[in-house]
Amino acid sequence: MSLNQESTRREFASALAGASLAYAAIGSAAGKSANRIPIGLELFSVRDELQKDPSGTLQKVAQMGYDCVEFYAPYFEWTPEHAKEVRQQLDTLKLRCYSTHNGKQSFTDAGLEKAIQLNRILGSKFIVLAHPGENLKTADDWKGVAETLNKANSKMHPEGLHAGYHNHDLEWKPVNGQKPIEILASNTDKSIMLQLDVGTCVETGNNPVIWINSNPGRIKSLHLKEWSPNGGYKVLFGEGVCPWKQIFAAAESRGGVEYYLIEQEGSRFPELETAERCLVSYKDLRSGAKTTS
């Protein structure tokens, strides 16, 4: 770890300590309303299982106790007929799909109509841009991404949908003295969701609690991706350094959160077991019980 990274870590720790005190009371109140916030699974977490057995995987996810799921980019290849079959299974399983993750194709003039059609069938609320592409080197490049989101959002709105943006680590690394995530937030319509990937925010030394409170009403969903200095993104939910209680308090008091999504890039356990263990840990944390490993 470089001196700059170590300095960033210390700044984050200091900010977090202050945030913990500020949100202690809010956290207690938020815990009482935890059951009202749906908890879902970003299906990238079980991507191999989903590819082998889509229907069976959805059934197992529902049996674990998840409330909702988020489909990722390959869903865009579905036909409307297949989307209707998936929706029928979701309804049978009492699973909701509030958002989908999308590549840039879904935000082109040619692809947006299909994305809207599929998401309306699924009952989604947000079509989320999961990655902006490569070679974004200037503030103007990122303003171009913001304009893409605005343009798409204006076409989604009459259809009862909104655009969303999902961050990775790239958005936290300054260009021209400004973080891309801040450029996007200040140059997009307030109805566009800023879906917070917690793990990448923490890994880059940024404070998710401060970010949530700086963008009230726009953090309508969060990817509950864990991170630790030693295990990276392979640790299970609750095993890393993300300040979950403070994050939940901020999301529910200021962020406008409507649903949470567990996301895992992989772990020491098989995909489905990983998803189940993370859900158990989440529910233990929200209920105040001791999380087991």
| 126-164 pLDDT per residue, tens | 999 999 998 899 999 999 999 999 999 999 999 999 999
The residue among 104, 100, 163, 106 whose CA lies nearest residue 135 is 104
pLDDT reported for residue 101: 98
Residues 95-105 pLDDT 10s: 999 999 999 99
Residue 293 lies in a domain: no
Rg value, the chain, Cα: 18
Residue 27 lies in a domain: yes
pLDDT reported for residue 36: 81
Q: What is the mean pLDDT of residues 207-227?
A: 98
Residue 146 lies in a domain: yes
Q: Which helix (H) or strand (E) holds 110?
A: helix 109-122
Residue 122 lies in a domain: yes
> In the predicted model, what is the mean pLDDT of the chain?
89
Angstrom distance (rounded) from CA 167 to CA 171: 6
Residues 26-60 pLDDT 10s: 333 333 344 589 999 999 999 999 999 999 999 99
Total domains in the chain come to 1
Cα dihedral across residues 274, 280, 284, 286: positive or negative: positive
- pLDDT level of residue 120 (50, 70, 90 thresholds): very high
Residue 216 lies in a domain: yes
pLDDT reported for residue 289: 54
Angstrom distance (rounded) from CA 122 to CA 97: 6
Residue 292 lies in a domain: no
CATH number, residue 35: 3.20.20.150
Angstrom distance (rounded) from CA 160 to CA 17: 40
Tell me how crowded residue 216 is: count the other CB atoms within 10 A of its CB: 13
Q: pLDDT > 70: what percent of the chain?
A: 86
Contact (Cβ atoms closer than 8 angstroms) between residue 201 and residue 15: no
pTM: 0.87
- pLDDT level of residue 13 (50, 70, 90 thresholds): very low
Q: What is the domain range of residue 237?
A: 3-287
Residue 236 lies in a domain: yes
pLDDT reported for residue 288: 83
Cα 121 → chain centroid: 21
